[in-house]
Amino acid sequence: MLFISLLIRLTSKGPVLYWSDRVGFANSIYKMPKFRSMKVDTPEMATHLMLNPDKFLSPIGSFLRRSSLDELPQLISILKGDMSFVGPRPALFNQDDLIALRLEKGLDKLLPGLTGWAQVNGRDELSISDKVALEVEYMQNKSFWFDLKILWLTFLKVINKKGVSH
């Protein structure tokens, strides 16, 4: 993590970590850290909603995202108890449609995860309703073995660099 921090400092202005307001357990807001992959002046919105997200990437931002290395600081949130290794990915505070649908389905009762069933089944390509349907499936089948399966599938996706659009 020290090497990544150094690369970020050497290639772009601004802090190494980006602290994002996210929706956690019981719809509480918490600060989630990520290695900063975007320029400092990037609008605070989901990347898939941007017209041209690549123009906001830092010089090593694309690499950090495609390798999922930008997610490593979330281990801090796991240690603090704000997140789990497996669960629905934490929504941005302003993703009202996703938050409302998760609340309706009872998904606010789960800790958000570093990875999840939706991430290994499509990640950025999924519609919000498809993503929530997979999260409900996870909630209904949650177990130690299911979590291990999701962690293994996540590892394979990261190694193969599949499912990351930017």
Q: Is the pLDDT of residue 165 over 60?
A: no
Q: Is 16 helix (H, G, I), strand (E, B) or coil?
A: coil
Q: How far is the C-alpha of 156 from the C-alpha of 150, rounded, in Å?
A: 10
Say what the pLDDT of residue 108 is. 97
pLDDT in tens, 70-122: 999 999 999 999 999 999 999 999 999 999 999 999 999 999 999 999 999 98
Q: What percent of the chain has pLDDT over 90?
A: 73
The pTM (predicted TM-score) of the whole model is 0.85
Say what the pLDDT of residue 162 is. 62
Say what the pLDDT of residue 164 is. 54
Q: Is there a contact between 125 and 157 (Cβ–Cβ < 8 Å)?
A: no
